[in-house]
Amino acid sequence: MTACGFAATINLMADMRPLREDLQATLDARRDLGPEYEAALVESFVERLDATIAARVHSELHGQAPSPYAPYSSPPPPPRARTGSGHMVLLALGSMALGVPLVGIAAVNAGFIGMLVTLVAIVLINVAGASAIRHR
């Protein structure tokens, strides 16, 4: 066995320690509780084993070191699609929140032409903002 293979085996054994401890705890609990709880104990252990395997696969896919305590932490969130919909909503709500008072002020102080200029400016700002968000 090469030194690299030996080191990988040692790391794998160290990663298995919490899993072995879980298995021993499950066996001890089965001994204490009796065979009527065996199905629930096995199911619980299998869930922890599945979580450990999923964490290892995730860490391998993302080039991270696997955590021996992976079943005790929450699983990584699924990757989100990178859309600008959240930014678009903020842009729209901000335009409405600022646009309504600005249009009112323009209509009172500058009449119809002032209101029209303000609305055109708001539309141009929204088009420019939406274009910038989509290009990201």
Residues 90 and 29 in one domain: no
Domain coverage including residue 32:
3-72
Residue with the bigger pLDDT between 16 and 33: it is: 33
pLDDT band at 7, cuts 50/70/90? very low
Tens-place pLDDT, residues 28-71: 888 888 888 888 878 887 788 778 777 777 777 777 655 555 55
Residues 19 and 56 in one domain: yes
Tens-place pLDDT, residues 100-117: 999 999 999 999 999 999
Which two structure tokens, joined as six digits, stand for 133? 């968000």
Helix ranges (DSSP H) in 34-84: 38-61
Query: What is the model's pTM?
Result: 0.39
Among the three residues 53, 72, 91, which one is the final residue of a domain in this structure?
72
Contact 53, 45 (CB under 8 A): no
